[in-house]
Amino acid sequence: MYLCFGVALIMFSWQHKSERGIREIGIGEVLMGLGCILIALRGSIADFLSIVVANSTIYASVAILSLGILRFYRAPERLLVYAIAPLIALCCFGHAFYTYADDNVTIRILFFALCVFATSAITLRGLFSVASDQRNVGLQLVRGLFFSVFLYYSFKILSISLPDSFTNTFNLTQVDTPALVFINLQLFLLTAVIVWTATDRIQRKLVRLSQVDPLTGTLNRRALEDRLQQEFERLERYHGKMALVMADLDYFKRINDLHGHATGDKALIVFANTLQSRARSADIVARYGGEEFVIVLPESDSDAARKYASDVAQSLSSTHIPPLESPPTVSFGISEHKPGQNWEKLLDEADDALYTAKRAGRNRIVVQSEKV
């Protein structure tokens, strides 16, 4: 079963290379399966394979799987990266020495338990450093899995290290079978959690890509129209106010013709960044098409929109975009929502005001309600 899950995760990671850690988790589960097979063959194959190699492989699978988990959740991994090789070497040495030099099953178990205990502790430290809320069920479950492993091997080390009277008092050996069954069930569940979380991330990325302009990082026209529809529904419920700004980079075609499209793209990015930096968190900035952007200002009137446009123009006027000799200028058209008006009409009015600004010589702000 481990082999099947591991291979499936490795194949999944090939198809979704942006999701870090899944390949390592898959490799860990494959190694876990191979180690279990070697242990199952004990008596039919050499002790070196069924004891030393098998247990070292299982520990290596735990270490690599833990590293994958940390990478998948973008948790700090450096400490585990440094610890993996020494811990694998320690596990291998302990099993080899206490198989051939001094055959002692208890000490072999102790070496394995110490290595897994250290790995789970390091992994827990990394997982709990990740900012999360209670809605992140996947991360909470993974934390629970590693805490279970940490707790089990803590008791395992105690049961071996402390006097028999302590062990007998708490009957620590009685938890071995149910604890191992529980941990194995959680490992199977881990695969489902990772695939579910990765799939959810990929879907969110696809949704974001369908809504965001790839060059400027602002919303695209389709997303803008969806958001405008939502905002107008809110306006109808609460009878609020709204202003809309349409901004156009002046002489953009000339920039492309004289300096090339790379410079034109740079100018658009700077323009978009300026628009976003002057916007509030509730405002909506979107690329409407070409060098035109639309900014939706909820709970704002035309005076607030004019101030916003003025701030953007002033900020852009002090920005140097090489190889342009002077900063680009912007024309603005502003409209303000009126009762009973739909968003298409509001957009048309801002577009009409923008056209007036450009026809009047560009580099100016025109409010639709103030047009003569």
- CA 54 – CA 187 distance, rounded (Å): 18
- CA 225 – CA 208 distance, rounded (Å): 15
Q: What confidence tens digit (pLDDT) does each residue in 134-154 have? A: 557 888 888 988 998 899 899
CB atoms within 10 A of CB 166: 12
The one-letter code for the residue type at 18 is S
Assign 130 to helix, strand or coil.
coil
For residues 126-165, one letter each, b for 16 or more C-beta atoms within 10 angstroms of the residue's C-beta and e for the rest, the string is bbeeeeeeeeeebbeebbebbeebbebbebbbebbeeeee
Q: What confidence tens digit (pLDDT) does each residue in 280-323 have? A: 999 999 999 999 999 999 999 999 999 999 999 999 999 999 99
DSSP, res 175 = G
The pLDDT, as a whole number, for residue 169 is 47
pLDDT in tens, the chain (372 residues): 788 888 989 998 888 888 899 999 999 999 999 998 999 999 899 999 999 999 999 999 999 999 999 999 999 999 999 999 999 999 999 999 999 999 999 899 999 999 999 999 999 999 999 876 655 788 888 898 899 889 989 988 888 887 664 445 445 455 556 666 776 777 778 888 888 888 888 888 888 888 999 999 999 999 999 999 999 999 888 888 999 999 999 999 999 999 999 999 999 999 999 999 999 999 999 999 999 999 999 999 999 999 999 999 999 999 999 999 899 999 999 999 988 889 999 999 999 999 999 999 999 999 997 764
The pLDDT, as a whole number, for residue 369 is 78
Structure-block tokens of residue 285:
């900035």
User: Which of 232, 212, 235 shows the shortest CA–CA distance to 222?
Assistant: 212
The pLDDT, as a whole number, for residue 135 is 56
CA atoms within 13 A on the CB side of 146: 23
Report, in angstroms and rounded to the nearest whole number, the Rg of the chain calculated over CA atoms: 31
Helix locations, the chain, DSSP H: 2-15, 22-40, 47, 54-72, 78-96, 105-127, 137-161, 164-170, 176-211, 221-238, 252-259, 261-277, 302-317, 343-359
Signed CA dihedral, 38, 42, 45, 49: sign only: positive
The pLDDT, as a whole number, for residue 174 is 54
CA atoms within 13 A on the CB side of 86: 8
Q: Do residues 116 and 135 touch, judged by C-beta distance below 8 A?
A: no
Phi, psi of 287 (to 5 degrees): -85, 120
Residue written as tokens 């520990």?
Answer: 59
Q: Do residues 23 and 205 touch, judged by C-beta distance below 8 A?
A: no
Q: Do residues 244 and 335 touch, judged by C-beta distance below 8 A?
A: yes
- CA 268 – CA 289 distance, rounded (Å): 11
The pLDDT, as a whole number, for residue 175 is 52
